[in-house]
Amino acid sequence: MSDAAFGVSAVASVTLLTVLIGSFALRFSRTTSDFYVASRSVSPLWNASAIGGEYLSAASFLGVAGLILTYGVDMLWFPVGYTAGYLVLLVLVAAPLRRSGAYTLPDFAEARLESMVVRRIASVMVVLIGWLYLLPQLVGAGLTLRLATGVPGWLGGLLVAAVVVFSVATGGMRSITFVQAFQYWLKLTALAVPVVFLALAWRGDGSPSLDGTSAPTFRERTTVNVSEGTTFLVTSPVRVRVTGVLDGQPYAGVGLRLARGSHVAGRGARLTFPAGTAVPHAESIEPSAGGDWATPLSGAGGREHPLYSTYSLILALFFGTMGLPHVLVRFYTNPDGRAARRTTLIVLALLGGFYLFPTVYGALARLYTPDLLLTGRTDAAVLLLPQRLVGGLLGDLLGALVTAGAFAAFLSTSSGLTVSVAGVLSQDVLRGTVRDFRLAAALAVAVPFLISLGAASLAVADVVGLAFAVAASSFCPLLLLGIWWRRLTDVGAAAGLLAGGGLATIAVSATIAGASRDGWLGALLAQPAAWTVPLAFLVMIVVSMRTPGRVPPNVARTMVRLHAPEALPLRRDPPAHRRPV
């Protein structure tokens, strides 16, 4: 099968390049300090590319287009939020965070609040958020590899997990910086080049309207391969030719008329729909119908309370970015606070450039790959479009390029997260040697990999959104109040972390476990940020005001360290926490 050959070579070359660049850089990383933080000698453009490479995960590369395909224009808030989160981070935390000298969020918590208890709580939150964010990466990797090569889903996850552990455990941060920077540009190319050909093919097709004024239909006779059993809903009766098991009956190429309602396609069934029929959709998703799709606040896919959900999502994404563990580590590799700001500015430009593309893929996918609504595998839209729309050898080559980009997305984000989670595990649970770091890296990936085996049907971008919600409800208040408010106390910080982070985690777990999204309770659980973030702030502030005696003794000096420009020779006593030496 030639399709598989293209897919395999794309995945193999990305993997090989990643390992090569990683081991090349390994020659430079000798000391523990190199290992953790690249000895803080990375230029702003390199650093910004690396941040972009690390940040653009499976959710951005595949998930956004899939969500747009399904739910329409409201989903554009995902890319807007992912980018705007960096603006909030830039203006409120970038420079002070770099000046704090903290390498991880727990380091910051300990240095600012002079409390081991707060440090421990922060460590637990980092590991939780890291695992929550790693989970969809591994799920997405499984999906991509299965589409590209036909191997079972778990193998893709395992491959990504293995490459990540290898590259992190052998090279640490230094090699990660090079790898990440390379992967940003690979990801951008992998989306930008095919878009040109997709647009040409779309024009060649007579520029059909993209604004979804009608419900999605099969434009031509389409055969859908149901690789895993699916329950789908038929909205108006359709004629279909079936090979395989449908509604418990085996068929061999028989024409059937499917009545309105729910139907079950067995594993490996092939359903052929004639041109012009409305696309049935998987029971797990409710795509916006017709013109709703292009209209904001259409209650995306039957999600109730769209205005609340939109605002809650905006809040989670805007304020969650600063609390992502793998983002913070990158700021440490800037030489000073000023460079940290400039790096962030470049990151905004890099992200803005990238996010122009997933929207185009999502809109085109509504026209050309609506069958994904039936299988529910909407995250595959980006991967399938080149073959579907361009076709031929060129389509295969572009498909291979997109697959390579997607694989780069899993590798880079997973590596970044693994470095952070492993850093925390090795410093706070183990003894912090290089050997411990390697062990911790394996541990950091193994847990989400095991969870991913049982959670294959999650929408990638949705789960990432949940990770943002937890980060926004825990680390955002800790950072903002820690940096700008002298009277924050250790008791207040701990209470706020537990209240905000704890409640957000509970809401998120309920959603992942499959709690109903109906009604107000469903909306509040599915998008918790709008209530957990203010709650976390409130608890931190009120408890701190009630415990004025617990204000850290060295807060004044800490504030000098966080805010005074490096140009001025001032006393900024080093933080008390254990730094990588």
Partner 1 sequence: MTEQPPRRIRIESPRRSAARAPVSRTRPVSHDIDEQTHVGEVYMGSLLRTQLRLAVGICLIFAVLLGGLPLLFAIEPGLADVRVLGVPLPWLLLGVLVHPVLIGGAWFYVRQAERNERDWVELVERS
- Can you give the binding site for partner 1, defined by CB under 8 A? 73, 76-77, 79-80, 83-84, 86-88, 90-92, 95, 211, 294-297, 307, 310-311, 314, 338, 341-342, 344-345, 348-349, 351-353, 355-356, 359, 363, 484, 556-557, 559-560, 563-565, 567-571
Q: Residue 126 or residue 364: which is nearer to partner 1 going by CB?
A: 364
Q: Residue 288 or residue 418: which is nearer to partner 1 going by CB?
A: 288
Alpha carbon 179 to its chain centroid, in Å, reads: 18
Please list, in sequence order, all residues whose beta carbon lies within 8 angstroms of the beta carbon of residue 490, skipping any fewer than 6 positions away: 113, 114, 115, 117, 118, 550, 552
Q: Residue 347 or residue 460: which is nearer to partner 1 going by CB?
A: 347
Radius of gyration of the chain (CA): 24
Q: Residue 99 or residue 550: which is nearer to partner 1 going by CB?
A: 99
Question: Tokens 């730094």 map to which residue?
Answer: 579
- Distance CA(296)–CA(282), nearest Å, equals 23
- Distance CA(50)–CA(43), nearest Å, equals 10
Minimum CB–partner distance for residue 320 and partner 1 (Å): 15
- Distance CA(177)–CA(57), nearest Å, equals 16
Minimum CB–partner distance for residue 474 and partner 1 (Å): 20
Q: What are phi and psi of 211, to 5 degrees?
A: -95, 20
Minimum CB–partner distance for residue 204 and partner 1 (Å): 18
Minimum CB–partner distance for residue 340 and partner 1 (Å): 10
Minimum CB–partner distance for residue 203 and partner 1 (Å): 13
Minimum CB–partner distance for residue 59 and partner 1 (Å): 17
Q: Residue 339 or residue 460: which is nearer to partner 1 going by CB?
A: 339
Q: Residue 548 or residue 569: which is nearer to partner 1 going by CB?
A: 569
- Distance CA(251)–CA(271), nearest Å, equals 10
In this structure, the strands spanning 230-234 and 249-258 are unpaired
Minimum CB–partner distance for residue 185 and partner 1 (Å): 18
Q: How many CB atoms lie within 10 A of CB 421?
A: 30
| H or E element, residue 189 | helix 153-204
Q: Residue 49 or residue 452: which is nearer to partner 1 going by CB?
A: 49
First vs last Cα of the chain: how many Å apart? Answer: 52
- Distance CA(191)–CA(224), nearest Å, equals 25
- Determine contact, residues 317/87, Cβ cutoff 8 Å: no
Please list, in sequence order, all residues whose beta carbon lies within 8 angstroms of the beta carbon of residue 358, skipping any fewer than 6 positions away: 60, 61, 64, 65, 68, 79, 191, 382
| H or E element, residue 535 | helix 529-546
Q: Residue 83 or residue 420: which is nearer to partner 1 going by CB?
A: 83
- Determine contact, residues 186/14, Cβ cutoff 8 Å: yes
Minimum CB–partner distance for residue 345 and partner 1 (Å): 5
Q: Which amino acid is at 330?
A: R
- Determine contact, residues 342/47, Cβ cutoff 8 Å: no
Minimum CB–partner distance for residue 510 and partner 1 (Å): 25
Q: Residue 213 or residue 223: which is nearer to partner 1 going by CB?
A: 213
Q: Residue 270 or residue 338: which is nearer to partner 1 going by CB?
A: 338
- Helix/strand/coil for 252: strand
Minimum CB–partner distance for residue 347 and partner 1 (Å): 9
- Distance CA(289)–CA(309), nearest Å, equals 19
Cα-based distances in Å from 557 to 254, 265, 424: 78, 66, 26
Minimum CB–partner distance for residue 73 and partner 1 (Å): 5
Minimum CB–partner distance for residue 72 and partner 1 (Å): 9
- The DSSP bridge partners found for residue 246 are 249, 265
Q: Residue 184 or residue 449: which is nearer to partner 1 going by CB?
A: 184
Nearest-CA neighbor of 265 among 153, 376, 142?
376
- Helix/strand/coil for 297: coil
Q: How many CB atoms lie within 10 A of CB 563?
A: 14
Minimum CB–partner distance for residue 364 and partner 1 (Å): 13
Q: Residue 142 or residue 216: which is nearer to partner 1 going by CB?
A: 216
Q: Residue 144 or residue 288: which is nearer to partner 1 going by CB?
A: 288
Q: Which amino acid is at 222?
A: T
- The DSSP bridge partners found for residue 281 are 233
